Amino acid sequence: MENFPNLQLSDFDYALPVDRIAQVPLGQRDSSRLLVLTRADQTLAHRHFTDLPDYLQAGDVLVLNDTRVTAQRLFGSRPGHPDERLEAFLTERVADGLWHSLVRPGKKWLPGAVVEFGDGLSCEVLERTDDRGGRLLRFSTPAEMFIEDVISARAQSPLPPYIQTLLPPENRDRYQTVYADQGGSAAAPTAGLHFTPELLAEIEARGVKIARVTLHVGMGTFRPIKTEDIASHEMHAERYTVSEQAAETVNSATGRIFAVGTTSARTLESAAVGPRWIAAAEGETSLYVTPGYKFQVVDALVTNFHMPRSTLLLLVSALAGTEFIRRAYQTALGDDYRFLSFGDAMLIV
């Protein structure tokens, strides 16, 4: 990683009105808008996501992150406090009924506390795992019921904290990509939410190869950078896998390599062993991409609009240029684009 020493976190701040944060997904996945940033001439084009195949051609490779969201969100109360609304965001299953979680408000989730969720489901706080709401929770339920099934039946979609509208049970799949396969993620790789099977088939029909990698998104993706000096930020580690088949597909590209989402981009760059060449690998990455980083593999990026002061905004700025991204975001805000997880998309070519 290279950093421009004159860049500070405030350079990646912008005013995001609350009403511009998309609270619900559109009726059709691929009906979102697409702002196209062409780096060669620094131009912007207003398109729709169904136009994405127009920017791909035979020999290109489209790289998808096939992680599946397995995190779950529960609301409950302590015994004797029926008016409470306590939230547990279950991020990682340690064993049946044992979960690493983020909770709020933290002062009511002290070790030893019991929280009830209904249908006989309850949990005990075993320990505090960090000072930002992390807890280890042990769940219990009537003996004749499988505890993970009860948790899933009671849980809501694990939407990011900036989305206040819960998805009804029949729409929970809208917070999964249509190609989600490998369980283990705390959040969806949201750039992929725009794809449909039909759109992927159209892209492949143009001679574009599709590679699937896996990066399980951690809760750190929702945590903002706290240090004004961006070089001082410590990136959270996330688990990733690149199969032999995926590496072969990427390495055989005769055209451009398109990453779908910042997670796919970070996976490709983490697995890079040289220019436009990756190795099959499995492990953890804490790769932190900021302006000044030299991409080895990624030529183009499909992404969403990101939070101010976030590592994701720094990554897209590294690829497109800080000033170009700033202009694109101001254009999108002025033209009623929808932002964040259920929002519209951007293509950087």
- What is the pLDDT, as a whole number, of residue 142? 81
- Tens-place pLDDT, residues 143-182: 778 999 999 889 988 888 889 898 887 888 999 999 999 9
- What is the pLDDT, as a whole number, of residue 132? 81
CATH class of residue range 72-157: mainly beta
Question: What Å distances lie between residue 44 and 28, 30, 265, 300, CA to CA?
Answer: 24, 20, 22, 15
Domain 9-69+172-348, architecture per CATH: 3-Layer(aba) Sandwich (3.40)
Domains 9-69+172-348 and 72-157 share a fold: no
- Ranking 8-12, 202-206, 322-326 by mean pLDDT, the lowest is 8-12
**Range with the largest mean pLDDT of 127-131, 141-145, 238-242:** 238-242
- Tens-place pLDDT, residues 267-297: 999 999 999 999 999 999 999 999 999 999 9
Question: Mean per-residue pLDDT for 215-234?
Answer: 81
- What is the pLDDT, as a whole number, of residue 144? 75
- Tens-place pLDDT, residues 70-92: 989 999 999 999 899 999 999 88
Does residue 194 register a pLDDT over 70?
Answer: yes
Question: Mean per-residue pLDDT for 3-23?
Answer: 87
Residues 6+ apart with CB under 8 A from 124: 112, 113, 114, 137, 138, 140
Question: What Å distances lie between residue 140 and 3, 30, 50, 145, CA to CA?
Answer: 48, 41, 46, 10
**Residue 266's closest CA among 215, 218, 193?**
215
Question: Mean per-residue pLDDT for 4-25?
Answer: 89
Q: What is the DSSP string of 249-304?
A: HHHT-SS-EEEEHHHHHHHHHHSEEETTEE--EEEEE-----TT---SS-SEEEEE
- What is the pLDDT, as a whole number, of residue 272? 98
What does the CA dihedral 232, 235, 236, 240 come to, rounded to 10 degrees? -160
Residue-range domain boundaries for the chain: 9-69+172-348, 72-157
